[in-house]
Structure 1
Amino acid sequence: MSPESLADEFAQIFEDEYDDVVIYGDEDKSTVLHEGPARIRANGWVEVSSGRLLSPNAVHHIDVESTE
């Protein structure tokens, strides 16, 4: 098994993709970082539809509206 295919297998197990989320930067939901589709990577970073990556340190919590 190649390293690339092994990485793909782990990504399928440990990464989640969602159609509709709201990503907040604070507990009281006053700072919205993103609304819409997003992928949560295995390393904790969040990839939004523009391709931008949000650091796990920047994200307080994510409300999931639907899954893909």
Structure 2
Amino acid sequence: MFAPAEPFAEALRDFLQTTLEDAVIYGEDGETVIHEGPATIKPDGWVELPDGRLISPGAIHHIEP
């Protein structure tokens, strides 16, 4: 018998994401700060903020931890 795939997939997602306690996220122009504070970088490149909002990878120039 095989174990259900969902718990494994969830554990893998948790392993691959990066949680930053204090980050500065810059917008497309590289100068505008669009978020300061904690953030989680998901394996697919999206960034999740503490309130649950997501920032598209296309909207981010760079992130400074």
TM superposition score normalised by structure 2? 0.84
Residues 1:7 and 2:13 are matched in the alignment: no
Q: Name the structure where helix makes up a greater proportion of residues.
A: 2
TM superposition score normalised by structure 1? 0.81
Shift of 1:49: 1.2
Residues 1:51 and 2:39 are matched in the alignment: no
AA partner of residue 33 (structure 1): I
**CA RMSD between the two structures:** 1.2
Q: Quick check: which has more Rg, 1 or 2? A: 2
Residues 1:19 and 2:21 are matched in the alignment: yes
AA partner of residue 26 (structure 2): Y
Q: Distance in 2 between matches of 1:23 and 1:63?
A: 7
Higher relative CO (CA 8 A, sep ≥ 6), structure 1 or 2?
1
Query: How many pairs are equivalent?
Result: 62
Q: Deviations over 1:23-62 (max 9, x none)?
A: 00022x2x11111000000111000111110000001100
Gaps of 5+ in 2: none
Q: Helix, strand or coil for the counterpart of 2:58?
A: coil
